[in-house]
Structure 1
Amino acid sequence: MPIPQAEIADRHERLRQQMDQHSLDAVLVGERYNYWFLTGHRTREIEKVMRPMLFVLPRQGDPVAIVYRQQGAKVKANIPTVRVYGYEDLPFDTELLVEAVKEAGLSTARIGFELGPNQRLGIAYEHLSALRSALPDLVMADAGPAIETVRLHKSPYEIEMLREAAAMSARAWERVIAEFSVGQSEREFATAVGVELLREGSEFDVAGHVTTATSRAAYDEPLQAGDTIWCDFGATLEGYQADIGRRAVMGQPSSDQLDVHRLVTSLFDRTLEAVRPGARASDVAKACSEAMKQAGLPELTERKRIGHGLGLNAGEGPSLGLQDHTVLEPGMVLCVEPRFFLPSKEKIHIEDVVVVTSDGYEPISTGAGELAVVAV
Structure 2
Amino acid sequence: MDFFARSLAIAGLSVSLAACAGAPAQSRPAAVAQTAAAPPPMAPPGPCALRPSCDTPFPAPSKREFRHNRSGLLASALGPRHRGRDLFLLPGTPQWVLGKFAYGPADKDLKDEDIDVYLLRGCGAAWEKVGTYRTTEDEGSHPAVVGVADEGGQIFVNLAQVLPGGPLGVGRHRIKMVVAGDGTSVDLFLEVLPAGARIVVTDIDGTLTEKEEALVGDVLTGNHSQTHPGAVDVMRSLSGRGFFMFYLTARPHWLEPRTREWLRLRGFPPGIVHTSVTATGRMGGAAASFKSGELSLLKTATGLLPELAFGNMPSDVDAYWSSGIPRTFYYKLADDARGGVKHDDYRTLLPSLGELPAVCP
Give the TM-score category using the shorter length: under 0.3
Higher Rg of the two aligned structures:
1
TM-score computed with the length of structure 2 as normaliser: 0.27
